[in-house]
Amino acid sequence: MANPAWRLAQRSCPSHLQVVSFPVVQLHMNRTAMRASQKDFENAVNQVKLLKKDPGNEVKLKLYALYKQATEGPCDMPKPGVFDLINKAKWDAWNTLGTLPKETARQNYVDLVSSLSSSLESSSQVEPGTDRKSTAYETLMVTSEDGITKITLNRPAKKNAINIEMYHEIMRALKAASKDDSSITVLTGNGDYYSSGNDLTNFTDIPPGGVEEKAKNSAILLREFVGCFIDFPKPLIAMVNGPAVGISVTILGLFDAVYASDRATFHTPFSHLGQSPEGCSSYTFLKIMGPAKATEMLVFGKKLTAGEACAQGLVTEVFPDSTFQKEVWTRLKAFAKLPPNAMRISKEVIRNREKEKLHAVNAEECSVLQERWLSDECMNAVVNFLSRKSNL
């Protein structure tokens, strides 16, 4: 237990959280749909006692925060002073959870313990330096090689539209990547598209009278999904191999570098869909490109070419499609040889002061969208697409 922040954090934690060992399992994010029972929660709390390896301060603070949220609800403690670093770190971690419902916090705690266990299992099964290929995903391909974990969206026949399963799997892959032995993480798409954004059939499996409930659960899912990008600790790089739509574009503002093929386009047709911006784009795009250009994209749905997106600062560099893979991978392999701790810490220094703001923006965007999804404008747009009348 290297860091005094955690040691101190333990003092006001229940005794089970004072044992630092490392959990054991595969993260089953789709369990969020099932809801953890009190018994699952208690089991997870006990499982923490069995952990053999230190999961690191970041994870321990998350466990602390989720435990407090699950047992006491939203943080109502006065904010510690700036020099009370340890208690402030704990307070920040708890307070960041905002009004996350107790039962969601309980579920997230169970999932986190489960994912820690999973990461221990996988790392103990793989020789250091050995290439890994995960077969545990339905909608992704995840590989780890040369210090780079590559997450590939893998529904090419649907233009890599993000269905509910893919949201969960991306979160699971990011959580695993944040703890594996790679230095950088790359997100890309299989096939001709990077991603066509939210799968519009996500709006279809709604039980009669259940639309409000579905909107509420979707807002929780979206907030958690975007939160994983806000909190991702290692350099996160997008390789935008083709057109990108909707949420696959907006979250680019949370990446550390965005490399694009000259075939890529960037399109956020939220108004056409009766929806509103997410992925923190209502904040990041304004910072990146200024309000005038951000409004063109986010309000009027202007589709940008890769060159335009680069000129506006959303994209780091554009490559001819014919050499895109080769040139970007050469670059990524060089990045992956840089000292990983230095990269992680530099990212922290660059990003950390914005984190609290980003989580607040994320929460607000999700709450606005929750209402939007119930609007006639949104429902009509979805029905139009599903009946193939959409003409974005």
Among 292, 301, 241, 310, CA closest to 270: 301
Side chain identity at residue 361, one-letter code: V
Q: Which stretch binds ligand L4XM7KOE (CB under 6 A): 3-11, 16-24, 139-147, 158-166?
A: 158-166
Question: What letter would DSSP give residue 32?
Answer: G
Residue selected from 215, 258, 260, 280 as contacting ligand L4XM7KOE according to rule CB under 6 A? 215
Helix pair 57-72, 38-49: axis angle to 10 deg? 150
Residues in contact with ligand L4XM7KOE, counted by CB under 6 A, come to a total of 28
Residue selected from 102, 214, 331, 347 as contacting ligand L4XM7KOE according to rule CB under 6 A? 214
- Taking the least distance from each CB to ligand L4XM7KOE, the nearer of 27 and 251 is 251
In whole angstroms, what is the distance from residue 147 CA to residue 125 CA?
17
> From the CB of residue 352, how many other CB atoms can be counted at a distance below 10 Å?
10
- Taking the least distance from each CB to ligand L4XM7KOE, the nearer of 10 and 275 is 275
- Give the residue nearest to ligand L4XM7KOE (CB): 246
Residue selected from 95, 218, 312, 362 as contacting ligand L4XM7KOE according to rule CB under 6 A? 218
200 binds ligand L4XM7KOE (CB under 6 A): yes
In whole angstroms, what is the distance from residue 205 CA to residue 294 CA?
33
171 binds ligand L4XM7KOE (CB under 6 A): no
- Taking the least distance from each CB to ligand L4XM7KOE, the nearer of 51 and 161 is 161
Residues between 236 and 295 that touch ligand L4XM7KOE (CB under 6 A):
245-247, 269, 273, 275, 278
Residues between 322 and 351 that touch ligand L4XM7KOE (CB under 6 A):
none
Residue selected from 222, 228, 252, 310 as contacting ligand L4XM7KOE according to rule CB under 6 A? 222
Strands 148-153 and 184-189: parallel
In whole angstroms, what is the distance from residue 386 CA to residue 15 CA?
53
Among 196, 187, 266, 195, CA closest to 234: 187
In whole angstroms, what is the distance from residue 286 CA to residue 50 CA?
46
Among 100, 171, 39, 51, CA closest to 60: 51
Among 226, 238, 236, CA closest to 194: 238
- Taking the least distance from each CB to ligand L4XM7KOE, the nearer of 150 and 267 is 267
Q: Which stretch binds ligand L4XM7KOE (CB under 6 A): 123-131, 155-163, 318-326, 346-354?
A: 155-163
In whole angstroms, what is the distance from residue 333 CA to residue 352 CA?
26
Among 249, 242, 241, CA closest to 269: 249
In whole angstroms, what is the distance from residue 79 CA to residue 92 CA?
8
**Least distance between ligand L4XM7KOE and beta carbon 18 (Å):** 38
302 binds ligand L4XM7KOE (CB under 6 A): no
Q: Which stretch binds ligand L4XM7KOE (CB under 6 A): 57-65, 66-74, 76-84, 200-208?
A: 200-208
Q: Which stretch binds ligand L4XM7KOE (CB under 6 A): 18-26, 63-71, 206-214, 308-316?
A: 206-214
Among 265, 256, 214, 266, CA closest to 351: 256
> From the CB of residue 386, how many other CB atoms can be counted at a distance below 10 Å?
13
In whole angstroms, what is the distance from residue 292 CA to residue 259 CA?
24
**Least distance between ligand L4XM7KOE and beta carbon 158 (Å):** 4
Question: What letter would DSSP give residue 98?
Answer: T
Residue selected from 92, 111, 169, 199 as contacting ligand L4XM7KOE according to rule CB under 6 A? 199
Could you list the residues that contact ligand L4XM7KOE (CB under 6 A)? 158-159, 161, 196-203, 206, 211, 214-215, 218, 222, 245-247, 269, 273, 275, 278, 373, 385, 390, 392
